[in-house]
Structures are given as structure tokens and as C-alpha cells.
Amino acid sequence: MNLNTYGTIIGINKEFSRIAVKLHDGDISVMGVDELSDFAINHVLYGRLNQETKQLIFNKTAKTDHYINIEATGCNFETAHSFLFSI
């Protein structure tokens, strides 16, 4: 069973180093990243984007690997916005 999924970055919070990713199934995940310079709106990411954990993902657009911390998953737009911009 392949647990990897893909999604597109739809939001970035530079102040808190977080991104919001709309997954292929329509849910949104919010994740903390160490280096925002490799992420931009509409970048396509691959990995276990729907599991709240620290993990390695692949940014297909930038062709880079990153360790991220998924803080919330299964979100709608309003919930994702709250996670993206909360302390």
C-alpha cells in the first residue's frame, strides 16, 4: 500500500515558517518547514502529507527534499487558515 500523496502549496506564512498544502483529495494540511526559500505558491509536494508527524517530503517543483512537521491535516480552508496563522 502506497501511503504517499501529493498536493499543491496554497498558502505561506513567512513569520511562522508554515505552509498550507491542498492535497489531491481536497483536504488541506498545514506544516512547519525549516527553510521557506525552497517553497512557493503552486509548488507540488510529494510524501505522507496527510499524517501528523515529522518526515521527509519531496518538492517536485524545486526538485528538493525537506524535513517538515505536519501540524494539522484533514482541514477545510477556514481551519487551515487558522493553523497557518496561529502561534
pLDDT tens string 30-39? 999 988 999 9
pLDDT at 3: 65
pLDDT tens string 36-74? 999 999 999 999 999 999 999 999 999 999 999 999 999
pTM comes to 0.92
Task: Using the predicted structure, report yes or no on whether residue 86 has a pLDDT greater than 90.
Answer: no
Q: Which of 71, 3, 87 is nearest to 33 (CA)?
A: 71
Task: Using the predicted structure, report yes or no on whether residue 1 has a pLDDT greater than 50.
Answer: no
Dist. CA 51–CA 36, nearest whole Å? 21
From first CA to last CA, the distance across the chain in angstroms is 35
Dist. CA 44–CA 62, nearest whole Å? 9
